[in-house]
Amino acid sequence: MGSLLRVDMACLTVKKEPVPAGWAKYAGRALTDAIIFAEVPPKADPLGPANKLVLAPGLFGGTPAPNGGRLSIGAKSPLTGGIKESNVGGQFAHSAAKAGLAAIIIEGRPADPKALYALDIDAQGNGMLNRVDDLAGLGNYETAEKLHAMKGDDKLVTVTNGPAGEMLMKAAGIAVSDPHGYPNRFAGRGGLGAVMGSKGLKAITIPLGIESLPHADKEAFTAAVRKFANALKEHPVSGQGLPTYGTNVLANIINEAGGYPTRNFSEGRFEGVEKISGETMREITLERGGNVKHGCHTGCVIQCSRYYVHPDGSYWTKGSEYESVWALGADCGIDDMDGIAELDRKCGDLGLDTIEMGNVIAVYMESGKAEFGDVQGALAALEECAKGTETGRILGDGAEATGMAFGVERIPVVKHQAMPAYDPRPIQGIGVTYATSTQGADHTAGYSITANVLGVGGTVDPLKPLGQAELSKNLQIATAMLDSFGLCIFVAFPVLDIPAAFEAIYEMATAHTGDPWDADALMKLGRETIAFERLFNESAGFTAADDRLPAWMLTEKLPPHNSVFTVTDAELDSVHDFVAETAAEMGISKP
Amino acid sequence: MRIELALFASLEPYLPEGESASGRRTRMIDLPGGITVGEVVARLGLPDQPRVCFIDGRGVREDAVLTDGVRLAIFPPVAGG
Ligand code: SF4
């Protein structure tokens, strides 16, 4: 088990500590949650000195477990006011784990509010704070370049905060570098960039690291890895669909199902979808000689990532994800792929969450401040954020702040966080997840699109409430478990359909750690993770009334199916019926 | 009867010749009345793999019967997010 690296931004000290014995089974999301639960007062000001930013690789960080290098970043969210775990790819999790770190805890606040620091971690996991005032205001791309130059290490792994985070905008995310050093993987959701900004921290660096961590039983680990990798390659979604087309392969199918939110959630189909679909993106990228398949971190065998390139073939931005293309595209009525790429690049460089900002711009357009479909208008809105104007600061604080400031009633948020790319009215299962997730409206928290639309892990009728609460609950628990292992949630598709894939997870865990893991232990870990989050949120002031969709989604019919959200409050409240019992077993009640 | 057929992702190459309908990946096709989704799948020679089918935006099984004027969309297994 690795160490905790505690970074005190008030005293400017960095020290290593052992992980408390009670947390031995926690890593990734479970560990960021356990630390925040134990150390952050639930009523703390998210941008004040009492909040903490915690980064933790999953249990498989630093090992060759397929798709096991995801990173959890947690804090109390300035956007939702609740606990947050934002999950991100990139190289950092593997490198931190290889340096012997289970988590990095950033706490306190520098006395000088203008001072900017980088936390430089060495290969042994020792950290040092260095002043980097000259990086102030720089975008993520330039910041990463300068850090590479300063360190003279072209393999350096970076975690960076863009100007939006420095300006404490609530839509600010944190960028992690990919295997080629581009700072294009985002812990986007929930305003964690603002928390990093509030700590005066501009960047974290760490050398790539080479040696994988040792395993308790190497042979068994290798066998389980092979079993897992085979399942991932065998399943048509992870073996073919995702690597060929990327996540944006979803655009056409969600549009077909009538759940592709268009022009600020006013319609469920976008007439311009063909121009911005994954199929079209692939054609454009191939034509321009761009990269259409790679992993966001080493060890990913699915490889859904790609780069979107300029007409001359040079790098433009991460091959925009489904969520980003939808948010900055259909939700804003924009069907111009290059325009969307520029918006995506700009969000990435400023360090703004594309999902939140697509919603922001759509709400802004609905207010009449810009026209739906107008790329230039959308870029101008982001420029306001870049300049930090009064308007820009409102927009940078998210969709709810924007709607309230500009008089828009249709604001698609839950727990103050904007909805992702699936309308919950024709896809009711995702509505249950949006409503009840500890994270605010978050599709990844319990990806019920599976059985609702994609025919993965069973089938339910997406227009009906039947079975949706149970589906979402089980997925939320399973996802919390995957996030704690550092596994990419896309392994869930084969795990739901192929029993060997699920077995391989606990076999890898047992062989790696030497502790006994089995199916029950995996689900227990998922339940415990959510218990930490629910109890924290309750103490922060959340009630059942926060586990609801916006009221207009219960009455405003969405074309083409003219559906409204019909899952009852009682069904929504049943999703977390396990929490009290789990908390009692854990011996916890309040943070 | 005439229906609109849409094939996406890896199924696109199986689109028959003919007039495209509402987009590049769609065709208007003529079919005998009473034909099922599964029979259309067989006629098109789609690979023997799981797939997801929609009639007018509602997920359907392969024994669903097509009627004049509907839109049939077929996807290979896809996911993301
Ligand atoms: S499947 Fe995609 S998101 Fe998941 S680890 Fe691989 S590249 Fe990253």
Where do the domains of chain B lie? 2-75
Whole-number pLDDT of residue A210: 82
What phi and psi, each to the nearest 5 degrees, are found at residue A203? -160, 160
Flag whether residue A444 sits within 8 Å of chain B, measured between CB atoms.
Answer: yes
Tokens representing A26 are 């926690």
Residues 279-318 of A with CB under 8 A from B: 279, 304
Whole-number pLDDT of residue A152: 87
Does residue A501 lie in a domain region? no
HSE-CB of B50 using CA atoms within 13 angstroms: 14
With 0.90 as the threshold, say if the pTM is over it: yes
Say which residue the tokens 């009692």 belong to. A584
Residues in chain B whose Cβ is within 8 Å of chain A: 6, 8-10, 12, 23-25, 49-50, 52, 54, 57-59, 73, 75-81
Q: Which residues of A touch B4 (CB under 8 A)?
A: none
Q: Are A256 and B75 a contacting pair at CB < 8 A?
A: yes
Q: Are A454 and B52 a contacting pair at CB < 8 A?
A: yes
Q: Which residue has the higher pLDDT, B45 or A1?
A: B45
Count the domains in chain A. Answer: 2
Residue A228: its H or E element: helix A218-234
Cβ A294 vs Cβ A91: under 8 Å: no
- The pLDDT of residue B18 is above 90: no
Residues 90-149 of A with CB under 8 A from B: none
Cβ A473 vs Cβ A574: under 8 Å: yes
Q: Thinking of the domain B2-75, which architecture would CATH place it in?
A: Roll (3.10)
Residue B28: its H or E element: strand B26-30
Does residue A399 lie in a domain region? yes
Q: Are B80 and A248 a contacting pair at CB < 8 A?
A: yes
Ligand 1 residue neighbourhood (C-beta within 6 Å): A 67, 89, 295-296, 300, 302-305, 488, 490
Minimal Cβ distance to A241: which of B25, B77, B81: B77
Cβ B78 vs Cβ A235: under 8 Å: no
Residue B48, min C-alpha distance to chain A (Å) = 12
- What does the alpha-carbon distance between residue B60 and residue B40 come to, in Å, rounded to a whole number? 13
Tokens representing A448 are 């019920």
- What does the alpha-carbon distance between residue A517 and residue A502 come to, in Å, rounded to a whole number? 12
Domain boundary among A156, A184, A207: A207
Residue A456, min C-alpha distance to chain B (Å) = 8
CB atoms within 10 A of CB A524: 17
Residue A164: its H or E element: helix A163-166
Flag whether residue A454 sits within 8 Å of chain B, measured between CB atoms.
Answer: yes
Counting ligand 1 atoms within 8 A of each CB, the residue from A302, A307, A482 with the most, and so the one to mutate, is A302
- What does the alpha-carbon distance between residue A436 and residue A63 come to, in Å, rounded to a whole number? 33
Minimal Cβ distance to A257: which of B57, B76, B77: B57
Give the CA distances from residue B66 to residues A329, A526, B28, B62, in Å, rounded to whole numbers and listed in that order. 33, 43, 14, 10
Domain boundary among A383, A406, A423: A423
**Same-domain status, A15 and A111:** yes
- What does the alpha-carbon distance between residue A308 and residue A318 come to, in Å, rounded to a whole number? 6
Q: Are A246 and B9 a contacting pair at CB < 8 A?
A: no
**Same-domain status, A386 and A244:** yes
Domain boundary among A390, A423, A456: A423
Q: Which residues of B touch A560 (CB under 8 A)?
A: 57
CB atoms within 10 A of CB A268: 25
User: Running DSSP on this structure, what letter comes out for residue A223?
Assistant: H
Q: Are A449 and B49 a contacting pair at CB < 8 A?
A: no
Q: Where are the beta strands (DSSP E) in A271-418?
A: 307-309, 315-318, 413-414, 417-418
**Same-domain status, A254 and A156:** no
Phi-psi region of A415 (alpha: psi -120 to 50; beta: other; left: phi over 0): left
- What does the alpha-carbon distance between residue A222 and residue A228 come to, in Å, rounded to a whole number? 10
Q: Are A256 and B80 a contacting pair at CB < 8 A?
A: no
Interface size, chain A vs chain B, as Cβ–Cβ contacts under 8 Å: 101
Q: Are A454 and B8 a contacting pair at CB < 8 A?
A: no
Residues 488-527 of A with CB under 8 A from B: 489-490, 493
The predicted model gives B3-26 an average pLDDT of 90
Q: Which residue of B has its CA nearest to A321?
A: B81
**Same-domain status, A158 and A256:** no
| Ligand 1 atom nearest to A305, measured from its CA | 7
SS3 B27: strand
Q: How far is CA A84 from the centre of its chain?
A: 10
Does residue A453 lie in a domain region? no
Q: Are A247 and B81 a contacting pair at CB < 8 A?
A: yes
Range of the domain at A417: 240-423
- What does the alpha-carbon distance between residue A489 and residue A433 come to, in Å, rounded to a whole number? 15
Residue A278, min C-alpha distance to chain B (Å) = 8
Does residue A186 lie in a domain region? yes
- The pLDDT of residue B23 is above 90: no
Mean pLDDT over each residue of chain B, to the nearest integer: 93
Pair type for strands A201-206 and A117-121: parallel
Q: Are A250 and B59 a contacting pair at CB < 8 A?
A: no
Which string of DSSP letters, residue by residue, matches A482-502?
HHHHT--GGGHHHHHH-HHHH
**Same-domain status, A95 and A181:** yes
Does residue A40 lie in a domain region? yes
- The pLDDT of residue B22 is above 80: no
Give the CA distances from residue A207 to residues A15, A96, A124, in Å, rounded to whole numbers and listed in that order. 18, 9, 10
- What does the alpha-carbon distance between residue B72 and residue B81 come to, in Å, rounded to a whole number? 24
Residue A245: its H or E element: helix A242-245
Blockwise average pLDDT, block size 10, chain A, 591 residues: 94 97 96 98 98 98 98 98 98 98 98 96 97 98 96 92 98 97 97 98 95 95 98 93 94 98 98 96 94 91 95 94 98 98 98 98 98 98 98 98 98 98 98 98 97 93 98 98 97 93 98 97 98 98 98 98 98 98 96 90
CATH of residue A287's domain is 1.10.569.10
Cβ A23 vs Cβ A31: under 8 Å: yes
Peptide bond between residue A560 and the one before it cis (omega within 30 degrees of 0):
yes
CATH of residue A136's domain is 3.60.9.10
Residue B75: its H or E element: strand B71-75
Cα-Cα-Cα-Cα torsion A52, A189, A479, A177, nearest 10 degrees, comes to: -80
Question: Considering Cα of A485, then A488, then A493, then A494, what sign does the dihedral take?
Answer: negative
Cβ A475 vs Cβ A467: under 8 Å: no
Q: Which residue of B has its CA nearest to A459?
A: B59
